[in-house]
Structure 1
């Protein structure tokens, strides 16, 4: 039986569009909201087959007030990334259909296969998951697409950084000076551009967290071409805010232990690490809210600001 409350949230034209992309004899039997997405509405659609079994798809929809031009850009890039990733061994969803311009749906939408697993944001088992994250990111960076995605876009400038209240003023001033410099030269790689624990699915058995394995990497809407350091820096920042600054510093080490190659010079590494950390200063509240909703209520905006300050200070001490 379809969950009518959730079905009502998926508009009629979109439901018709989804139905046109199902196999003969299939129908939508249940619609369930998926939580954790911060920019789009995510729904799991259970599809009943002609043989009486079922399979799941995921519907990603950008609704108002999200800008239509950005939704078109992101969904177009995600569709391209999922097409590129098919058959590569990277555990990404399979593309079923995309309507980036809302030509057929009420809102820009993308339909993809559903991956098993769940995001894990707990501290327990982190020592096992960090090397898995690093190995997975090395595998993504090893891809050599025939058609490159567009070049990365920097997410902050020296003039837009928001220094947290009570932060180490000297450390932050020095960090801001770092990103006033031109970006270092780099060898381009295929980037996820938002690779972090919230976009990685794990199969974790509660009694055996050490036996965790990655089952999927999701949210490819900002896939880009750029330096491996940038993806590493983004995951490092997220780990620092979720679990403490030491884990942010640890991730770069884990990436190299997994065979990844980062910038050779310490000042070049510092540039990318600091650039991503400072970008988070502008959106701490936006970053923290999904984590609280996902089961980390202690991660208030203030706690995350304090961890960001500690991480920026640690970066400047360790690499500055």
Structure 2
């Protein structure tokens, strides 16, 4: 058996086998790159003449678990809802919500085909693919879904970032955020929709992963989160290109309001802006923390300088 099972215990491997097929043979175990808030492993099993691939997520971030002890249940419920979207998503095979069986809270899912693509050959087509995937998610009504969107930062206490070279612009942004919240109709949202959570195969989106934050909320939250990630990765022009692509896909179902972009931007700043390690893991090099600060300053200027 090919194995690179750092942090994946024999206890968890046995749990996987028991939940798939007790006669299954483990062919390989390897840690997946890119995850920063939990530990993900790919595990390949041979079941009779078939080869089946799965992903095990271990929720080993104690601080996160302390804040949200039901993380396994949350992802499980989100994946069940995501199955209604028409987007290819992992299927839940088994879950250990308390860690009683695995020694740590864990969830077992099917593994999707495809790979993260952060250096697309055609940026416009890539942005359109991202937008199409997101619009399908938002088409699902979620009034009975038990998880509701909330902001990661308390806007009432949010201050102008000390690192910024555009303090006046940030003051304007805070004034907007502390003003009236736009009225919207909630739908099902991914809540962490960005390019490192979208898989591609032969030029098309092949799946969307990492559903632990799925919830009811405004479309603009997902759009804004993806846009701020794109602004940090590539710049304002790319973020604007995604907005245009999403507007084309959503049509009259979406009314843009920069409030949600600004809220997503503030959510990104629970600390000083840093290069997301997942980007480097998927082949993007040359980014620096200083670049992230400059790009976020440019992004907030672009938002405040809008006509509305």
The two structures have a TM-score, normalised by structure 2, of 0.92
Between the two proteins, the alignment pairs up a number of residues equal to 307
Greater Cα shift, 242-251 or 190-199:
242-251
The offset of 1:293, in angstroms, is 2.9
Instruction: Determine the structure 2 residue equivalent to 1:143.
Output: 140
CA offsets 1:37-64 (integer angstroms, 9 cap, x no match): 110101000111222x411100001115
Tell whether the 8 Å contact from 2:32 to 2:42 is kept in structure 1 after alignment.
yes
Instruction: Determine the structure 2 residue equivalent to 1:221.
Output: 212
Tell whether the 8 Å contact from 1:161 to 1:281 is kept in structure 2 after alignment.
no
Tell whether the 8 Å contact from 1:189 to 1:227 is kept in structure 2 after alignment.
yes
Instruction: Determine the structure 1 residue equivalent to 2:90.
Output: 93
Tell whether the 8 Å contact from 1:186 to 1:263 is kept in structure 2 after alignment.
no
The offset of 1:161, in angstroms, is 4.6
Q: Give 1:283-298 correspondences, 5 Å limit.
A: 283-285=271-273, 288-298=276-286
The offset of 1:157, in angstroms, is 2.8
Pair 1:270–1:67, CA change in 2 (3 A):
closer
Greater Cα shift, 83-92 or 216-225:
83-92
In the alignment, structure 1 segments of 5+ residues that lack a partner are 205-211
In the alignment, structure 2 segments of 5+ residues that lack a partner are none
Cα distance between partner residues in 2 of 1:141 and 1:87: 11
Pair 1:236–1:8, CA change in 2 (3 A):
closer
Instruction: Determine the structure 2 residue equivalent to 1:169.
Output: 167
Aligned alpha-carbon RMSD (Å): 2.1
Q: Give 1:1-320 correspondences, 5 Å limit.
A: 1-3=1-3, 6-7=4-5, 9-51=7-49, 53-70=50-67, 72-86=69-83, 88-122=85-119, 124-145=121-142, 147-158=144-155, 159-161=157-159, 163=161, 165-204=163-202, 212-261=203-252, 264=255, 269-285=257-273, 288-320=276-308
Tell whether the 8 Å contact from 1:164 to 1:305 is kept in structure 2 after alignment.
no
The two structures have a TM-score, normalised by structure 1, of 0.89
SS in 2 for 1:97: strand
Pair 1:45–1:67, CA change in 2 (3 A):
same
